[in-house]
Structure 1
Amino acid sequence: MYDPTGRPAKARVVRLQHQDVSDRPFIVIWESTRACPLACRHCRAEAVPDRDPRELDTAAAEDLLAQVASFGTPAPLFVITGGDPFQRPDLLELIAHATRLGVRVAVSPSGTPTLTADNLRAVHEAGAVGLSLSLDGATAASHDGFRGVPGVYRWTLDAWQTARRLGLKVQINTTVARSNLHELPDIVRLVHTYGATLWSAFFLVPTGRARDLAALDPTEAEDVLNFVYDVGLTVPAKTTEAHHFRRVALQRRILADRGEDHVTALGLGPLYRELRDRAAELGLDAATRRARRPPLDVNAGRGFVFVSHTGTVHPSGFLPLGAGSVRERPLPEIYRTSELFTGLRDGDRLGGRCGQCEFRRVCGGSRSRAYGLTGDPYAEEPWCGYRPGSFPHQRELAALLEAK
């Protein structure tokens, strides 16, 4: 990549989606079932032990896959989640069917005894390209306490190692909640030790059982986002439902280029210093990657779509507003034309500080968290404390936003 003078240009700070986001999503998440033997404290689906008779059956699920393929080539990545997808006896059949249709599949199972080497090998042989696993604590006590069942930590680590040996890409997801804030560096150390294609820090959304968990305040969220940015040179890191990470990436690039101290310039607090110091103790401040993974510009309804176990379509699994059903209308039609989806793709509809923010078209805030806390999907991001226009280097920012 070169700039107009012919000199090598720096890697993009934020990655754009390759496709037109109004035409097709980057990713489709399918909640294949809500059945799951765990009792996770944050569960969006409020999972239950038994399968719902209203679930999409095999024929309906195959029709959904055909709808995903009809978006065109390349088809969106199709992630089968739950509940626990292994509770569906047709899981392998559906993965194989998707592969025949040219749809890439990843599976997001729960950490249960179903995560056997035989099951993971079968998923891989059926055609799945990736696996995402949750790690919400650095020890068995903290992770199992969060998940509500003893033994989950060990099952997760074993499955992680098995999946990597099989050649599956492994993404590790960590729910960022008040209960595990101080363990984040130790979790990153595990990701670095075991190896993963990606580590995702998922910022809690108050839906499902997560309504009962204590929220972060905007200052703490800012500290965590900057910590995630720091460790991006040690592990490939991203965020989920923390879209202001893209703002942080842009700010940090500009401050680094100007040789300014980001702690002072961004007003970072004691939590950031604690996380940074602990990371240094663990040796995570020694860069092992040549470049950070630029965050992808994607948001609810803008490159992202969620299909529930009964076939209803949502902009995100954490935004419980429906836009139709795949049993009644094709998924591409819902994604492209429904008022909810087209509205969420319009940055001018954002309210509060988000609507006034110079970062709004590259961030947009968590529409799920805005809805969960205010009832308005267009309200300002509750976990963001940034004041529009307060970043001092607006000219440099404008240049980066133009080049993003």
Structure 2
Amino acid sequence: MHRPSAMKGLPPQLHLRNLARQGGALLALRLLVGWRHLGRWTLRDGLRTIPVAAGSVGMGCIGFPYHPVIEVTSKCNLSCIHCHVGSSSLGVSPPFEELARLIRGISQIPEFRMVVFTGGEPLVREDLPELARVAKGVGLPVVIATNATLIDDGTARVLRRSGVVGAAISLDAVDPGLHDRIRGKRGTFEKVMRGIEACQRAGIVVQINITAMKENADHIAEVLRWSHRRGAEIGLVYQLVPVGRGERIRDRALLVEENRRLMRTLREVQREIKTVFEPVASPQYWAYLLASGSSNLGRRLGGWTFRGCTAGWGMLYVKADGDVWPCPFVPLSAGNAFEGDIGEIWRKGEVFRLLRDRRNLKGSCGSCRWREVCGGCRGKALAYSGDLLAEDPTCFVREDYPSSL
């Protein structure tokens, strides 16, 4: 069933509450960070970005509150050193019919009002525009998570006509040599620049995705400012989590001190740039803003809107083999989307049930006063301890603000 409006079909109390939360989160960001561009961003970018934003409930995000991601292939034309999928040219691509059925199933889950196609590199699939048209036909705007090296003007126009409204583009440094080393192939940076420009000319909202690790930690501020100058509306600052190929470079992941510096950098730079950036795999950012904030209104709004880690309740991640994970960094299956009903898996999956009740958390995450606005990164907890519910080993808030415990 086609839905002409992405919000149409949602129970009024659900979409009105979501809009209120997103507005509250943006105002909290303004008050707690000193963000100078709230008005400009809202008027120029906000309405375009609402159907696109790759955020989840209360991350301080803009956009739809729940975030389904489909790995439409595990094949890729690059070989990034940190890839959580471990993608290569030898990956697998699910049949079109299976993916079309999954997309239709996702459209029947009331919380889901957009969908993300990722990989691997989704554009290695020649039928990607057809998949986007399936999503468009059931009222789901599409975002593609891409390295952008395969996007030219013609491709961007086809994608936009097919229902792709946003492109989350990976950029780990504005130093071409460093970016190419991380991405595993020389010449990648220049292709990414062309891909970004093509998307913007086609009217596709551009989101910049950065993966922070020891190699590029000192370059993140430069990428944030570059994104502002380039006109990107939104962005995510991921951290390396040692899963997939990232297991091989576990020693390059950011630990407590590096996490602290990165979150301080993000806060300081966010004040001056228009692009809205959010951290991924470092939900302590939201606790940090509340613990250090001087605005009482900002703290109240943030306490209401920030939800931190969204694994299993703010998002789901469908692997190329159909396994449904709570997050790309939590390799625990709640069921198989090609063998079962995605709605049932979403509602009743055991790993989802565990993550939806933060009283299940252990250690300092379980006793922290910021448990409900942060929750710690469940991917890091699992990767470093083997326990999904353990405390996040990279948290700095418990050291800097002992009253949190």
Q: TM-score, normalised by structure 1?
A: 0.79
* Alignment correspondent of 1:216: 254
Give the SS at the match of 1:226: helix
The answer to whether the 8 A contact 2:56-2:314 is kept is no
Q: Quick one: structure 1 residues 328 and 149, their matched pair in 2 at CA, closer, same or farther if it must change by over 3 Å?
A: same
Counterparts of 1:384 and 1:10, CA distance in 2:
24
Counterparts of 1:298 and 1:102, CA distance in 2:
27
* Alignment correspondent of 1:60: 98
Q: Which amino acid aligns with 1:12?
A: A
Q: Which amino acid aligns with 1:17?
A: V
* Alignment correspondent of 2:119: 82
Counterparts of 2:99 and 2:65, CA distance in 1:
18
* Alignment correspondent of 2:28: 12
Once the two structures are superposed, the pairs formed by residues 165-314 of structure 1 within 5 Å of their partners are: 165-213=201-249, 214-233=252-271, 234=273, 235-254=275-294, 297=308, 299-314=310-325
Deviation at 1:337, TM superposition (A): 0.9
Count, aligned residues: 342
How well do the aligned residues superpose, as a CA RMSD in angstroms? 2.6
* Alignment correspondent of 1:96: 133
Structure 1 residue runs of 4 or more that deviate by more than 4 Å after TM superposition: 13-16, 294-298
Deviation at 1:217, TM superposition (A): 2.1
Deviation at 1:70, TM superposition (A): 0.6
Q: Which amino acid aligns with 2:373?
A: V
Q: In structure 1, which of residues 136, 158, 162 is the aligned counterpart of residue 198 of structure 2?
A: 162
Q: Quick one: structure 1 residues 16 and 105, their matched pair in 2 at CA, closer, same or farther if it must change by over 3 Å?
A: closer
- The worse-fitting range, judged by mean Cα deviation, of 137-146 and 383-392 is 383-392
Give the SS at the match of 2:245: helix
Counterparts of 2:399 and 2:177, CA distance in 1:
41
Deviation at 1:389, TM superposition (A): 10
1:358 paired with 2:369, answer yes
Q: Quick one: structure 1 residues 296 and 228, their matched pair in 2 at CA, closer, same or farther if it must change by over 3 Å?
A: farther
Q: Which amino acid aligns with 1:331?
A: I
Instruction: Tell me the alpha carbon deviations over residues 210-263 of structure 1, each in whole angstroms, 9 at most, x when there is no partner.
Output: 123212221220121121112222131111111111112212323x669xxxxx
Give the SS at the match of 1:200: strand
Deviation at 1:51, TM superposition (A): 4.1
The answer to whether the 8 A contact 2:70-2:317 is kept is yes
Counterparts of 1:171 and 1:106, CA distance in 2:
10
The answer to whether the 8 A contact 2:364-2:391 is kept is yes
* Alignment correspondent of 2:379: 368
Deviation at 1:388, TM superposition (A): 8.0
The answer to whether the 8 A contact 2:169-2:196 is kept is yes
Q: Which amino acid aligns with 1:147?
A: R
Q: Quick one: structure 1 residues 49 and 328, their matched pair in 2 at CA, closer, same or farther if it must change by over 3 Å?
A: same
Q: Which structure: greater helix fraction?
A: 2
Q: Which amino acid aligns with 2:264?
A: N
1:127 paired with 2:149, answer no
Counterparts of 2:86 and 2:398, CA distance in 1:
35
Q: For structure 2, list consecutive stretches of 5 or more residues without a partner in the other structure.
A: 1-23, 33-54, 59-63, 298-304
Q: TM-score, normalised by structure 2?
A: 0.79
Larger radius of gyration: 1
Deviation at 1:192, TM superposition (A): 1.6
Q: For structure 1, list consecutive stretches of 5 or more residues without a partner in the other structure.
A: 1-7, 19-23, 259-293, 395-404
Q: In structure 1, which of residues 11, 16, 31 is the aligned counterpart of residue 71 of structure 2?
A: 31
Counterparts of 2:56 and 2:319, CA distance in 1:
27
Q: In structure 2, which of residues 80, 83, 87 is the aligned counterpart of residue 43 of structure 1?
A: 83
Counterparts of 1:174 and 1:384, CA distance in 2:
20
Q: Which amino acid aligns with 2:374?
A: C
Q: Which amino acid aligns with 2:207?
A: Q
- State the identity %: 29
Q: Quick one: structure 1 residues 164 and 296, their matched pair in 2 at CA, closer, same or farther if it must change by over 3 Å?
A: farther
The answer to whether the 8 A contact 1:34-1:83 is kept is yes
Counterparts of 1:364 and 1:9, CA distance in 2:
17
The answer to whether the 8 A contact 2:330-2:382 is kept is yes
